[in-house]
Amino acid sequence: MVYTKHFVVHATWKLNQLNKYIEDATKTTHDVDSPGHLNNLFEYISNDDKTVSKQLVSGHHVIDVHDMAEEFIQTHIFAKNKKGNAKLLFKDNEVLAHHLIQSFSPDDTLTPEEIHEIGRKTVLELTGGQHEFVIATHVDKDHIHNHIIFNAINLETHKKFRWTKSTKKVYEHISDKHADYAGAKIIEHDKSNFKNFTDYQIYNREKSFKQEIKKRVDFLLANSKDQYDFVLKSRALKLDIDFSGKYAKYKLLDEPQLRPTRSRSITKLKKYDGRYDSTGIMERLKDNIVVPDLENIKQIFDSQNQAEVNDFELNAKIKPWQIDKKTNHGIYIDMEYGTGNNGLIFIHNKFLEKNSDGTLELFIKEKDYFYFMNGQKSQFNKYLTGKTLVNQLSYFNQTIPVRKPRELRAIDDLVSALNFLSDNQVTNGEQFELLASKFDDMIAEIKSQLVTAEDKIIQLNLVLKTLSGASSTDEITKSKAKEKLQQMNIDPDTSVDLLEKQAEALVIEKNIIEDKLSEVINDLKLYENIKHTSDKERENDPIKNKEVKR
């Protein structure tokens, strides 16, 4: 959202240089035209033309912002004295301060004062307010940007701020939150502009190259007729393949992947069987009779990929009191994650659906990632999975999430594959038989899940019935019900309302499974009829009857 940079300040001369740079009047002043509550933060100065301007420089725990460098150095010396290291000189590589930059879109309608305030809130949250800092908002370019210098020494503990490989991401999330709250526009980050492998690794936490490679390779395996066709289509999907070594190597050409990935790394098999190497690929492709043309392969992949993106595994309700802020991009949820660990989680609009009554529902996958931000202690910031987020939300708002079985997504993919074969009049051979076999296995699994869901509903209803008896005015009924609850290991004080919500969620889940199962069984019957008709025609056609079945 907001473009950010970070630099470490090692030398005292650099600190002095930054001191002069950030307070440069030609960069940090603008004419007073928007009075507000921030006015008392800034120094008013008179330019040569006698117009009154505002110098957008402010500090925190700094007596004189113009003497920032000296005050920072004195803090370091004081900290060394407290630790008994007064005689130690500054080392060449010693971290004295951290230099942060926040750049905003030229299309932003925010005032320089508002952008300055975003910077102030960002560094306060990042450091916990325990470090000296100075902020200068520069207005000399087409985009307004903040320069923030904060002392590495903590004023309370005299310890240094630990900037690890993940701190840049913490800084970005905090910066984006405050910018989003203020209404800043989006700036797309240049994902290919990594300065080192550490930056690449941080980005890689959110985008798994291995997972994307496996998705494309699996798609190509199902939609290529031979290895030559496989390689041609891989280029259409921006996937580079190298078969020259013992293991095949894959590299995404439309992502900032720095190193190729070996074939054995894209599967979770404990003992790799060579399925993604040259020999394994050729063995798999020999079963494919009809496949999409090269010209259509990208469109088919994108369509299938979009369907997967739009699909969901978890559906949860969000109560209005859980929403801290609504922005143009999504909502910020107020949530407790662990005792006393309160913070915010941003949920993008793409995961949300607004109901007619104004309430919001969340549709996500278990392995979607969300970022938890503790506004007081940034060291507690962390990523949460979609599954954890839904569990936390539901725990506090006393609602039960609906879970959609993953197998339903796989069923849709199988239906698409069978549709393709049917459209191309392929109703025999191993390619068709393999898919039909998978269909049978998947239907059996869904039927098993359906039985499990039904059993859970029955058990919940039995518990609810018994809890109802335990609250009866008839003492005999009440006594018998409590005995039964004890046998069932159920606390008599269990919330009936919560159990009823669980039962409702299970009924919804069961209905989803039943609808899909009915749809799939009808499709499979249709394919079987088509195959039966095709087999009859083949028997009566002497030419087709001589075709070699693969």
Q: Find the CATH number of the domain harbouring 110.
A: 3.30.930.30
Report yes or no on 71 lying in a domain.
Answer: yes
Per-residue pLDDT at 543 exceeds 60: no
> Which residues lie below 8 Å from residue 421, measured CB to CB, with a gap of 6+?
289, 290, 427, 431, 432, 435
- What amino acid occupies position 108? D
Cβ–Cβ under 8 Å, residues 315 and 402: yes
| Residue 302 within any structural domain of the chain | no
Residues annotated as part of the active site: 44
Residues 65-112 have pLDDT tens digits of 888 888 998 998 898 888 777 656 566 678 889 999 998 888 888 888
Domain shared by 169 and 255, yes or no = no
**Residue 489 pLDDT greater than 70, yes or no:** yes
Q: What is the mean pLDDT of the chain?
A: 78
d(C-alpha 530, C-alpha 314), whole Å: 36
Composition of the chain by helix, strand, coil, percent to 5: 50, 15, 35
Together in a domain, 370 and 483: no
Instruction: Indicate the pLDDT class of residue 221, thresholds 50, 70 and 90.
Output: very high
| pLDDT (0 to 100) of residue 409 | 59
Between 513 and 492, residue with greater pLDDT: 492
Report which of 397, 408, 438 is spatially closest to residue 509, judged by C-alpha positions.
Answer: 408
* Beta-ladder partners of 334: 344
Mean pLDDT of the 31-60 span: 51
Please check whether residues 421 and 513 belong to one and the same domain: yes
pLDDT confidence bin for 241, thresholds 50/70/90: very high
Per-residue pLDDT band for 55 (boundaries 50, 70, 90) equals low
Do 177 and 30 lie in one domain? The reply is yes
- Which of 150-164, 382-396, 404-418, 512-526 has the weakest average pLDDT? 404-418
For residues 14-29, average pLDDT: 66
Backbone angles phi, psi at 419, to 5 degrees: -60, -40
Residue type, 276: Y
Which comes out higher in pLDDT, residue 225 or 49? 225
Question: Which amino acid does the sequence have at 273?
Answer: D
> Distance (Å, rounded) from C-alpha 140 to C-alpha 325?
32
Residue 226 maps to a domain: yes
As a whole number of angstroms, the distance between CA 156 and CA 160 comes to: 11
Provide the domain limits for residue 282: 205-291
Residues 412 and 393 reside in one and the same domain: no
Q: What is the pLDDT of residue 276?
A: 94
Residue 197 lies inside a defined structural domain of this protein: no
Same domain, 7 and 43: yes
Q: What is the pLDDT of residues 350-395, one digit of tens each?
A: 888 888 877 888 988 888 889 999 988 888 898 999 989 988 888 7
Residues 473 and 380 in one domain: no
Question: Is residue 307 one of the residues assigned to a domain?
Answer: no
Rounded mean pLDDT, 417-440: 59
Domain boundary among 163, 189, 215: 189
pLDDT of residue 536: 56
Q: Is 165 among the domain residues?
A: yes
Query: Does residue 479 surpass a pLDDT of 80?
Result: yes
| Residue 170 predicted with pLDDT over 70 | yes
Host H or E run for residue 388: helix 386-397
Averaged over 48-72, what is the pLDDT? 74
**CA-to-CA distance for 291 and 294, rounded, in angstroms?**
9
- What tokens appear for 233 in the block? 């289509």
pLDDT at 50: 38
Inform me whether the pLDDT recorded for 52 exceeds 70.
no
Number of domains in the chain: 4
Per-residue model confidence (pLDDT) at position 117: 94
Q: Are residues 156 and 34 in the same domain?
A: yes
Distances in whole angstroms, Cα of residue 465 to Cα of each of 451, 488, 501: 21, 12, 15
Residues 278 and 181 in one domain: no
What gap in Å lies between CA 104 and CA 143, rounded to an integer? Answer: 6
Q: For residue 234, with 0-12 CB atoms within 10 Å meaning exposed, 13-18 middle and 19 or more buried, which class applies?
A: buried
Question: Which tokens in the block code for residue 513?
Answer: 């499974």
In a domain, 301, yes or no: no
State whether 173 and 156 are in the same domain.
yes
Does residue 466 lie in a domain region? yes
d(CA 534, CA 539): 9
- Name the phi and psi angles at 356, rounded to 5: -65, -25
Q: Which of the residue ranges 40-44, 162-166, 316-320, 401-405 would you say has the lowest mean pLDDT?
A: 40-44
At which of 352, 371, 403 does a domain end? 403
